[in-house]
Structure 1
Amino acid sequence: MNKHLPKIFLTFLSLVTFCCDAFSQTIYRKIENYKTYYGWAHNYPQDWMILRRFDNEDRNYLLMVNPQTLETKINESNFYQIKPMSIEQAREFFKNTPYVKALNKAEKQSVSIQDAGIESGIPKQTGISLTADLCPSHRPLDKRIFTDIFTEFKKVERPVPVALSITGIWMRQHPQDLVWLKQMQANREIYITWINHSFNHRVSLKAPLKENFLLEPGTDISYEVLETEKAMLRNGLLPSVFFRFPGLVSDQQLVYQVTNFGLIPVGTDAWLAKGQQPRNGSIVLIHGNGNEPVGVNDFIKLLQSKTRSIASKQWLLYDLRESVDEEFSEAP
């Protein structure tokens, strides 16, 4: 028997699993023992950093990140050589990768109470990375965002990349809207990077920022992070390595708590509803939950103004992971 066959088979299996993860992620309905678990996983020829471990229907699974590309995947643990590590050891092991460099930069930008984390990709990109937040809302999904970007880009860029910051409460309140988004992805009209936006997204109209959102006294950050990931998995969504703070509000301690989960905080340098104008490489923020029609209208106007540039591939939407990856691949 060819001694290389097992490696070839496992590599093929990994590719098949990645393709399935990318567009039709498995639904895990019986998640048990979901926990942080860090380390190195190897399946020829790729090294992965392990972030989570869980059981589902008597099988053990790993949630991992490719530290070179920031792509995540889920697979059964017995397909890999595994070396458990602490989060500190894992970051040291992968210290020269774009993923760990992005974590480090997010921590360096953690002092500000608003908009900590990665705010933009690389300026040489002729276009933007679009992020749309799905905070809890009684209003339906603003579908114009997705139908309009597909209409504008379908001839030059398909699927169209978009990053959605999703909360556990929104998933619970809007199952049909979530099905609609998943169908657009299954049809390869859009490609979604799912950003953890906390489970509850609590907000007070009266409390100061230092005691608001996730800074509200008594907040269980572990619940807010891990329960959102579990809700994603139960709904057939693949968690990414990104996290967006509700209200873009955090403090230095909270940023470090989030990076200790292996997640990269993502801010914005162009919140359209606040009048911030995007530049090349901008991470643009709009709200897709129906609560911010001004920002959505501004984005649609932006698309319309770029029609010719889009047609000639001079202005594109960039995958958030690739945008961050390219920036830190070039960093020393």
Structure 2
Amino acid sequence: MTFKTTISTILTLAVILFSARSISQNEGISNYKKYFAFTQTGTQKFLIIRQYQKAGKQFYIGVDFSDLSTRIFASDDIKTVPANWEKIQTDYKDTPYIQAINFTRQQSLNLQDSGISNGYPEEKGITLTIDLCPSGKPLDRIIFTSLINEFGKIEKPVPLALSITGKFMLSHPDDMQWLKNREASNDIRITWINHTYNHFYNPKLPLAENFLLKPGTDINFEILETEKALLERGLLFSVFFRFPGLVSDQSLIEKVTGYGLIPIGSDAWLAKGQTAHDGNIVLIHGNGNEPLGVKDFLKLLQDEKSAVTNKEWLLYDLRESVEDEFEK
């Protein structure tokens, strides 16, 4: 073998090794699944609800029983003890997390708007949820800029919740980056709600056969793929879930809560003519498909402008609202 051939071989091997290393470093999430276990950091106990692998390492996602926050754990940093979901619901029935889940299960007889539909009743203001269903239209950024302008001086970052679908993330990369930038600049604080991946809807079908109630729907895919899509974009989902169309039945509620998720409804869907009052969980769509709801919300902001300035009408964090509702 000549010197030139040897150098060429070494360079080729180096390129192969570098490429393999790059692929490994950028390896996506795999083996993502529902998994229940306990872990503890100091005196704080978490319930692990997901397990996955990335770049050859194992990770978990846990939820705090008290404040409902979620957190990513590397397997090297914690020890886990496998747990049974049914036993968890019994042993931790007095925690805000399990109380919220059990409350939604009791509301499961409603075809529409099951789940937690209002926040802490003593709140002087609302909890805002913005749905981002699949859409060919751009994000209604005016909602966010208006919120920042009105609330930014008294509530920074401005708390809001986004019900996100996988298809919206897939087709709106620029809007997703814009939202990430607003959060990075501390303008807003987003609670990411799982709104399913596909958000199937057929206007010709009755509600009992529509949305997630469509026969053959893969609920495992709809939930887990949405969570994966968020994680792959550097975003962490919350424990909240919103049914597409706010449509569900008892069986579906049981399936969703069986993933450790808390269904969230709304008692003030503005585009439906419902009026927002103190303590309401308000619903508007920010995907360009509901201009009436956006218009009504912007009018609501103007009507409450004086109260906002005087800190008499505020926006509340969804997680904190639910925690306060069930905290003893």
TM-score by length of 1: 0.90
What is the CA-CA distance between 1:80 and the residue it aligns to? 1.9
Q: Summarize the alignment of residues 278-317 of structure 1 with structure 2, pairs less than 5 Å apart.
A: 278-317=276-315
> Partner of 2:86 in structure 1?
88
Find the structure with the greater CA-based Rg: 2
Q: Match for 2:237 among 225, 236, 239?
A: 239
AA paired with 1:301? K
AA paired with 1:299? F
AA paired with 2:327? S
Distance (whole Å) between structure 2 residues aligned to residue 124 and residue 278 of structure 1: 14
Contact 1:43–1:81, Cα closer than 8 Å, also in 2: no
What is the CA-CA distance between 1:28 and the residue it aligns to? 8.1
Q: Which runs of 5+ in 1 are unaligned?
A: 1-26
> Partner of 2:4 in structure 1?
none
Question: Are 1:152 and 2:181 an aligned pair?
Answer: no
Alignment deviations for residues 251-297 of structure 1 (CA, whole Å, 9 cap, x no partner)? 11001100000000000000000110111110000000000010011
Distance (whole Å) between structure 1 residues aligned to residue 26 and residue 261 of structure 2: 21
Distance (whole Å) between structure 2 residues aligned to residue 259 and residue 292 of structure 1: 29
AA paired with 2:136? H
Distance (whole Å) between structure 1 residues aligned to residue 207 and residue 286 of structure 2: 23
What is the CA-CA distance between 1:77 and the residue it aligns to? 2.2
Moved over 3 A (4+): none
Q: Summarize the alignment of residues 42-121 of structure 1 with structure 2, pairs less than 5 Å apart.
A: 42-121=40-119
Which secondary structure state, in structure 2, belongs to the residue aligned with residue 240 of structure 1? coil
Distance (whole Å) between structure 2 residues aligned to residue 178 and residue 190 of structure 1: 13
What is the CA-CA distance between 1:90 and the residue it aligns to? 2.2
AA paired with 1:179? Q
Q: Summarize the alignment of residues 168-179 of structure 1 with structure 2, pairs less than 5 Å apart.
A: 168-179=166-177
Distance (whole Å) between structure 2 residues aligned to residue 49 and residue 276 of structure 1: 37
RMSD: 1.2
Which secondary structure state, in structure 1, belongs to the residue aligned with residue 37 of structure 2? strand
With over 3 angstroms needed to count, the CA separation of the structure-2 counterparts of 1:156 and 1:40, relative to structure 1, is same
> Partner of 1:138 in structure 2?
136
What is the CA-CA distance between 1:67 and the residue it aligns to? 1.0
Distance (whole Å) between structure 1 residues aligned to residue 241 and residue 52 of structure 2: 20
> Partner of 2:197 in structure 1?
199
Q: Percent identity?
A: 53
> Partner of 1:16 in structure 2?
none
> Partner of 1:189 in structure 2?
187
Question: Are 1:36 and 2:34 an aligned pair?
Answer: yes
Q: Summarize the alignment of residues 18-33 of structure 1 with structure 2, pairs less than 5 Å apart.
A: 30-33=28-31
> Partner of 2:7 in structure 1?
none
Q: Summarize the alignment of residues 185-264 of structure 1 with structure 2, pairs less than 5 Å apart.
A: 185-264=183-262
Distance (whole Å) between structure 2 residues aligned to residue 95 and residue 105 of structure 1: 11
Q: Which runs of 5+ in 2 are unaligned?
A: 1-24
Moved more, 73-82 or 172-181: 73-82
Distance (whole Å) between structure 2 residues aligned to residue 82 and residue 43 of structure 1: 11
Alignment deviations for residues 21-57 of structure 1 (CA, whole Å, 9 cap, x no partner)? xxxxxx9851111111112110102110110011111
Which secondary structure state, in structure 1, belongs to the residue aligned with residue 292 of structure 2? helix
Distance (whole Å) between structure 1 residues aligned to residue 322 and residue 211 of structure 2: 26
AA paired with 1:317? L
AA paired with 1:105? F
Contact 1:28–1:236, Cα closer than 8 Å, also in 2: no
Contact 1:40–1:90, Cα closer than 8 Å, also in 2: no
